[in-house]
Amino acid sequence: MNTPLSDIQKQRLKILEPKLEVAIKNQDIQAAKALVLDLQVLLRPTNHFVRLSQSKNKLFELSIELGDYDFAINGLNSNREVLNKNTRIYLETTSLMAICYVRMQEIIKAKPYIKEVLTNKSVIKSDRTRKIFHKEIINRFNEEVALCTLKSSDDVSYNEDEIEQEVIRIIQTLTEQEIFAQIGQASPRATKELMFLVYDYSTKQLPSAERLALPSPTQKIKDTEVGQTVFESVKRVIYNSLCNPESDIYKTWFNNGMKIVLSKGYIRSAVISCLVNLGVGIKMIAASIIALIMKLGIEIYCERYKPISLMEIRDK
């Protein structure tokens, strides 16, 4: 049983929680860890474990993004031990465990968590909301497969002039759907095989009517579908570079228009930098992603592809 928050606690939370949001957005892991520690000192004595776990999960999701998997697993396990299994926060924590193991390509270890998430009927009472959550989380698993299988063990670099020529060709000759198909064609066989495996296992956990309403595993690994999944998978990194109001690209676009952004090659350089950091080194995929964003424009891209965390998946 938790104790009601004091006025002092409430004032401290009004300071610490927004600061954590900023640290997460800026991917400042050290600042995020320090802030969560402050929140723990504040919330643990009064047993506000749910609110504390919500903040911790944001930190652990960031640590997964940054590749610190051991830290994430240890922390998520700790959260699972103190949370009620019939709560949304427990479900989200378990989802992050599955995502972490998928990102590590430890699919055998991921499966029990995937199953627990998708077979739980007691947490989300509304059938409609539960179906939306299932669809979103299965898509997220697919995106994690794309990220981990596209990552190269070698140092990644791009020739920006070659990329620029390819981008021009794509924009001039291909439709949006054809670009997605091209990304799928350029994706390794290992990406499609693991995507099939994880998607097939995930959908088999659902009731038959719900499963039949989703694309089949065979449909999910068609080139266009794979291309869309790959494009979605990198948005968590690219979005912050392009759509953060404090970024140079966003400020230039907002103040001077898209023409200046394109002429300076801002989008190309930002996307290449993000892909290099992710370890994605396939030229055709890089050029196709850049071309798609340029065809859409920053405003539409930022509106349509804003990433959401697991804690934000709700009825729409």
What six digits make up the tokens of 296? 């859409």
Question: To which residue do tokens 């912050």 refer?
Answer: 240
Q: Give residue 260's pLDDT.
A: 82
Helix axes 49-65, 7-25, angle to 10 degrees: 10
| Cβ atoms < 10 Å from Cβ of 69 | 16
> Rounded mean pLDDT of the chain?
92
Contacts of 202 (CB under 8 A, 6+ apart): 114, 118, 138, 141
When pLDDT is cut at 50, 70 and 90, the band that residue 315 belongs to is: very low
What six digits make up the tokens of 48? 């506000």
Whether residue 290 contacts residue 174, with contact meaning beta carbons closer than 8 Å, is answered with: no
Q: Give residue 250's pLDDT.
A: 82
Mean pLDDT computed over 160-187: 96
What six digits make up the tokens of 31? 């600042």
Query: Facing residues of 151 across strands?
Result: 280
Report domain extents, the chain: 7-106, 150-310
pLDDT tens, position by position, 210-262: 999 999 999 999 999 999 999 999 988 898 888 888 888 888 888 888 778 87
pLDDT tens, position by position, 101-148: 999 999 999 999 999 999 999 999 899 999 999 999 999 999 999 999
Sign of CA dihedral 59, 65, 71, 73: positive
What six digits make up the tokens of 126? 């509304």
Q: Give residue 289's pLDDT.
A: 97
The stretches of 104-126 forming alpha helices (DSSP H) are: 107-119
| Cβ atoms < 10 Å from Cβ of 162 | 12
Core vs surface per residue 80-107: b (16+ CB within 10 A) or e: beebeeeebbbbbbbbbbbbbbbbbeeb
If you write DSSP's letter for every residue of 149-196 in order, what string do you get? HHB-SS-----HHHHHHHHHHHHHH--HHHHHHHHHHHS-HHHHHHHH
pLDDT tens, position by position, 54-93: 999 999 999 998 999 999 999 999 999 999 999 999 999 9
DSSP SS3 for 307 = coil
Closest CA to 122 of 82, 84, 86, 92: 86
Full-model pTM: 0.90
* Domain at 7-106: CATH architecture: Alpha Horseshoe (1.25)
